[in-house]
Amino acid sequence: MDWYCKAAEQGHPRAQFNIGLLYDQGHGGVTQDHSKAFEWFLKSALQGYADSQAKVSLAYTNGAGVPNDNIKAMEWSVKAAENGHAERQHHMGAAYENGQGVPQSDSRSFEWYLKSADQGFAEAQDRVASAFEAGRGVPEDSVKAVEWYTKAADQGLPVAQFALGRVHELGLCGIPKDRSKAVGWYIKAAVQGYTEAQSVLREIYDLNTSDSDSDFALDMGTQFKVKEWIFEAADQGVVHAQCCMAYMYADGRGVETDNFKAFEWYLKAAEQGDEEAQRSVAYRYRYGIGIPESREKSVEWYLRLAQRGNEWALLHLKDMIEK
């Protein structure tokens, strides 16, 4: 801290920025103080230090150490973006895309996203890919869309990994359908908590293992990868994986049928709010499937569903009352 202060007092912008960080985060034996953090960030920002300009913008946006001022926040965001700050360039892309603080413009949005993406900012790379895929602010180009999705996905961005999964599953952007590759990308996104990917894997598992006439057939290696994800994710509390475990034991999909275990997994998912699981729990309590019959608990779960506007639950409640 002493050396930072000496350098900062001599006007060194990076030292001023670092002191701002210490006050902002309350590190290095310094008591957190957003007002002092802003003072140091501003001193550095006025010298053109891009990281500090971005911090000043965020401070005005969040009212951290200074009154909220969206106009000044945008002014400093532009300064940082024009000074090459990748995150603020992405922010400007989003601002133009959504018309927040600036007139909506797909072309200007793409320009800013591309500046950020060229610096390796994964979120911007995903938006550039999306723009090329949709022809938003730039001529449609499926080859470039896949290139940019891949760049972002290789950096571990789950939304881009999910997008690549969709591209391979559906054969988009001129890419041949490849369900094995699709599942691989979905799993990468799912293990990072990306719920859309988890939901798709649940659907894929259900289609691939049910007796329906689905054409979504997976090779044995890919099936193993999906099941491996299900077992690990279910133990970690991922609701879509818990439902897959319930399907597995309820229908004997690759395991011995076990209604008790099926109920356990349905209950775990139901307690997290999964509507399908709640329906199964209510039904199983009503008819004693995998659990002792309990009219009281069945009604309790049907009421939860009814409160969500579930007509199926209302019909069951009406039937139970009439009987």
Q: pLDDT grade, residue 312 (50/70/90)?
A: confident
The two tokens of residue 44 are 């550095």
Q: How far apart are CA 188 and CA 26, in angstroms?
A: 35
Q: What is the mean pLDDT of residues 25-43?
A: 93
pLDDT band for 6, please (50, 70, 90 cuts). Answer: low
Range of the domain at 168: 156-233
Buried b (16+ CB within 10 A) or exposed e, 247-257: bbbbeebeeee
Which residue, of 184, 216, 233, is where some domain finishes?
A: 233
Question: What secondary structure does DSSP assign to 146-181, as a single string?
Answer: HHHHHHHHHTT-HHHHHHHHHHHHHT-TTPPP-HHH
pLDDT digits (tens, 9 = 90+) for 41-64: 999 999 999 999 999 999 999 999
Closest CA relative to residue 150, chosen from 136, 132, 171, 129: 129
Residues 225, 273 within the same domain = no
Question: Do 262 and 229 reside in the same domain of the chain?
Answer: no
User: DSSP assignment, residue 138?
Assistant: S
> Is residue 217 in a domain?
yes
Whether 296 has a pLDDT exceeding 80, the answer reads yes
| Reported confidence tier of residue 159, pLDDT bands at 50, 70, 90 | very high
162 in a structural domain: yes
Domain membership of residue 151 (yes or no) is no
Q: Average pLDDT in the 211-217 region?
A: 59
C-alpha R_g of the chain: 26
Residues 228 and 270 in one domain: no
> How far is it, in rounded angstroms, from Cα 189 to Cα 181?
13
Q: How many separate helices (H) and strands (E) can be counted in the chain? A: 18, 0
- Residue 140 main-chain phi, psi, to 5 deg: -60, 135
Count of domains in the chain?
Answer: 2
Residues 309, 266: one domain?
Answer: yes
Confidence grade of residue 215 (pLDDT, cut at 50, 70, 90): low
**Residue that wins the pLDDT comparison between 129 and 11:** 129
Mean pLDDT of 184-194: 96
**CB neighbour class for 277 (10 Å; exposed up to 12, middle 13-18, buried from 19):** buried
Percent of the chain whose pLDDT exceeds 90: 83
Does the residue 229 lie in any domain? yes
Write the CATH number for 284.
1.25.40.10
Q: What is the pTM of this model?
A: 0.84
Whether residue 140 is contained in a domain is answered as no
In a domain, 203, yes or no: yes
CA 210 remoteness from chain centre = 28
215 lies in some domain: yes
42 domain residue, yes or no: no
* pLDDT for 216 beyond 80: no
pLDDT tens-digit series, residues 60-113: 999 999 999 999 999 999 999 999 999 999 999 999 999 999 999 999 999 999
Same domain, 162 and 195: yes
CA pair distance 188, 70, nearest whole angstrom = 37
Percent of the chain with pLDDT over 70: 95
What local confidence, expressed as pLDDT, does residue 10 receive?
76
Taking each helix axis from N to C end, the angle separating 195-209 and 220-235, rounded to the nearest 10 degrees, works out to: 130
Mean pLDDT of the chain: 93
- Residue 213: pLDDT band with limits 50, 70, 90: low
* Residue 288: pLDDT over 70: yes
Helices 142-154 and 158-170: angle between axes, nearest 10 degrees? 140
DSSP 181-244: HHHHHHHHHHTTT-HHHHHHHHHHHHHHHSSS-------HHHHHHHHHHHHHHHHTT-HHHHHH
Report residue 212's pLDDT band, with 50, 70 and 90 as the boundaries.
low
Among all chains, which residue has been given the structure tokens 């199964």? 280
Band (pLDDT 50/70/90 cuts) for residue 8 is low
Contact (Cβ atoms closer than 8 angstroms) between residue 91 and residue 103: no
